[in-house]
């Protein structure tokens, strides 16, 4: 079995077992965040589907494996979002359709890997439907998505759904330890929202910003200073950090044992003194603001920062 993190090995084993038993569907929708290692599973599955050896995993030595490793396998197509809008457009799907209609040049399977399937526009999705409904023999279409809810229902309904497990905190930390991550693993995981492969890219500057954000919100010097700090920072990152604080405080208020988080007890104690309803209302506000950022709906970052500062000070009763 390829060197996968433990939370993905069982899923890959099941998929390869289905393939070797000739029961693997032609279309899979693999749902998992790349930061949790989901792309590693798809890498391994693609390699096995292209390999010509009858083994529990890709042999790595046959001609097909060598071609794939060099990036030159003629029966493999990889589609990614393009352009400033990072969209999968209809032309890319038409190229897939042409490849599916061809005979496999290496005499094995044809494999299509479509990353971030939620980024397909409507025309592209409609063009893909025919291939999903009427696949040619020996063709496997692997769609990857980090957001099932944003993947079009017409696409979801024509694929077998494969939902990947997320790592526990100890499993995630083990990834950073094995990679000899030299900074603060727990804080890096907090910044990366518990995603170990994203945490590996966290920098010292981001860790310092994380600590500075906590200090500024824990001991605010006033509305003007706090709103200015928020405006100079990444609003998305600040909101997600506050979300972690609120969620941790709520769990402790209800005596729920959650995973360890890189937040000082002093800050959590401040939040735990607030009524639960106030924390839930503040959390709803954070979710609303994050949604606005994701939709990029005519944002005024300065006004959003000022509103966040005001809401935080109001929550603490220091307006």
Where residue 291 falls among pLDDT bands split at 50, 70, 90? confident
Packed helices 301-316 and 235-253: angle between N→C axes, nearest 10 degrees: 20
> Rounded mean pLDDT of 67-89?
90
Res 1: pLDDT: 44
Where residue 3 falls among pLDDT bands split at 50, 70, 90? confident
Distance CA 34, CA 199 (A): 11
260-278 residue pLDDT tens: 678 888 999 999 999 999 9
**Lowest mean pLDDT: which of 39-53, 80-94, 168-182, 239-253?**
80-94
Judged by DSSP in three states, 313 sits in: helix
Packed helices 38-50 and 63-70: angle between N→C axes, nearest 10 degrees: 140
Q: DSSP class of residue 112?
A: E
Cα torsion 50, 54, 60, 65 to 10°: value is -30
Distance CA 84, CA 189 (A): 29
Domain ranges of the chain: 6-163, 203-316
Distance CA 273, CA 316 (A): 9
Helix (H) or strand (E) holding 190: helix 185-191
CATH number for the region 6-163 comes to 3.40.50.300
Where residue 67 falls among pLDDT bands split at 50, 70, 90? very high
Res 177: pLDDT: 93
Q: What is the pTM of this model?
A: 0.84
Res 297: pLDDT: 58
């Amino acid at each position: 079995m390829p060197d996968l993190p433990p939370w993905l090995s069982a899923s890959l084993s099941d998929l390869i077992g289905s393939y070797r038993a000739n029961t693997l569907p032609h279309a899979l929708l693999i749902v998992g965040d790349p930061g949790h290692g989901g792309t590693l599973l798809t890498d391994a599955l693609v390699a096995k589907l292209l390999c010509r050896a009858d083994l529990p995993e890709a042999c790595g030595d046959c001609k097909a494996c060598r071609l794939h490793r060099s990036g030159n396998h003629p029966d493999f197509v990889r589609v990614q979002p393009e352009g400033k809008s990072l969209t999968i457009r209809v032309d890319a799907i038409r190229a897939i359709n042409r490849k599916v209609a061809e005979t496999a040049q290496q005499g094995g399977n044809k494999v299509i890997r479509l990353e971030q399937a939620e980024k397909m526009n409507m025309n592209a999705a409609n063009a893909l439907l025919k291939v999903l409904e009427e696949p040619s023999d020996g063709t496997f279409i692997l769609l990857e998505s980090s957001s099932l809810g944003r993947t079009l229902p017409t696409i979801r309904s024509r694929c077998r759904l494969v939902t990947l497990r997320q790592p526990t905190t100890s499993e995630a930390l083990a990834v950073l330890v094995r990679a000899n991550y030299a900074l603060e693993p727990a804080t890096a995981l907090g910044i990366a929202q518990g995603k170990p492969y994203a945490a590996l890219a966290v920098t010292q500057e981001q860790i310092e910003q994380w600590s500075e954000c906590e200090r500024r919100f824990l001991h605010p010097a006033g509305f003007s200073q706090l709103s200015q700090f928020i405006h100079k920072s990444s609003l998305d990152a600040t909101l997600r950090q506050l979300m972690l604080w609120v969620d941790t405080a709520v769990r402790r208020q209800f005596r729920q044992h959650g995973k360890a988080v890189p937040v000082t007890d002093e800050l959590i104690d401040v939040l735990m003194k607030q009524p639960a309803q106030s924390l839930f209302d503040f959390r709803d506000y954070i979710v609303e603001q994050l949604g606005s950022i994701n939709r990029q709906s005519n944002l005024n970052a300065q006004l959003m920062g000022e509103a966040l500062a005001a809401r935080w000070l109001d929550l603490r009763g220091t307006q």
